Amino acid sequence: MVTITDVGATYVLVLLLFRAPMGDIPWTHTFVLRYSLVAVATLLLIHGAFGTISDEYYYGLEIFSIFNTISAYIMILQGKTYQDEDLTEKVAIVTGANAGIGLEIARQLAQMGAHVIFACRSKERAEDAMKQVAATTSSSKLEFMALDVGSLASVRAFAAEFLKSGRTLHILINNAGVNHYRRHETVDGFEAMLGTNFLGPFLLTNLLLPALLRADDGRVVNVGSCVMKWATKIPFEDLNTKHDYGTGQGVYNWTKWANYLFSQELHRRYADTTLTNMHPFLNTLAHWFNWLRPFLQQTGEQGAYTPVFAATCRHLTGGHYLARSEIEELPARFVDADLAKRLWDVACPLVGLPKDYFPTPTFD
């Protein structure tokens, strides 16, 4: 006979087994140990491993198991842990804001009063997304600007149009990205994940720096993924991955790591300015587990909490790697300053920037 305890305890253990290997929950974390031990203990007790239990204790364990399961779900797929800020006078750009996490990030920023620019490829999809956000937030400060992060020409055109408007940029959230299992190239001839996940955001951020540096507390948020922890190296000898593509997962992993190294070098270069940059990561499961996502992965709303926290929390300083709206310390190999500088120097000529590119604020 399958009991409620069987179902609940198994769910908790499966949830932990999925999430801890992804890198966002350390195996030694207190609640990982607590929930796993409780799940195993209730299973053993309910099935008489320590002797027969009375009906009173049996039903008590069933109720306890329900509460443990609900508590584990809430704690592991953590909800919002911060207060909304007043963003009434601020301008935010969110790339890939037409769907998924990007849409939810845009919605939460709009809810706080920001003027949100939906930087997307499809005007039609962006306008549909803006209607959804307007309906739930009553915001009228929503704007579409065409941007294909995988095209350097599109990135340059977008940045030029924004700078021409003379507006100060307070928040830039580099959210758009791709994950391909077969090799594709961008219009510029770069491997698609290299071009879209790293080079596009790298160029966009650099070109928008004059507007970001005008803000009292300009924020750059590079949305990452916990799978960057699986990356073993940045393949400088074959950045375009022409010889060792495999399933593409390894390429995705290191392009996300590259984005984090970009965040580190950006922080080093602009540490003495008003610019703050963050690198929150999202928790992603492989595409073949789609049917399990509602049970094992954060929802769009939950997934947006950490990027929004990074973009709005007044007390955060730059250069951090954020997990679950908290600063996480990474192993030393992921925060290699020399590697970050080398990657920056390699990326600049690829996107057409001089290595000594160092813009200053522009004012009307």
Catalytic residue among 11, 252, 270, 321: 252
Catalytic status, residue 252: yes
> What's the CA gap between 318 and 278, in Å, rounded?
6
Residues tagged active-site: 252
